[in-house]
Amino acid sequence: MENEIVFVTHNTGKIKSAERHFKNLKFTTFNYELDEPRSDDIKEIATAKVKQAYEIVKRPCIALDTDFRIEELNGFPRAFVNFSLDTIGIQGILKLMENKENRKCAFNECLAYHDGKQIHYFYGKHPRKFIRQYSGIR
């Protein structure tokens, strides 16, 4: 199918994000958890994942990686968001931010598209202000 790209992921949130940004494309999802290198560089992670994805599906495909950076904490937790949430949790991150005036943070995305010959990159940056307390409500 023309304008169809395989998205190799097990993360439905990443699929929704890609569909929001690329409304004119149809994504076919191949549910698979790709290996992820230990890195805080989302381009490096997306590159490794899309290369692995292409080897699996042998068709044009994408992989997406994201990070979260808190300016006051020198960019922590970067690409290690899930690890940070599993270890210190949201309350731990809020504790690190106590009495900090600089509340700037950003979610960053790197989407890698592999057509079998080249890898193309698309970036998104979503600046925010860090909250002072978490109520547990999304």
**Spatial separation of the C-alpha atoms in residues 30 and 59, rounded to whole Å:** 11
- Which residue of the set 35, 40, 41, 65 is catalytic? 65
Secondary structure letter of residue 33 according to DSSP: -
The H-assigned helical ranges of 22-88 are 42-57, 81-87
Q: Is 40 a catalytic residue?
A: no
Secondary structure letter of residue 38 according to DSSP: S
Radius of gyration of the chain (CA): 17
Point out the residues that are catalytic.
Answer: 65
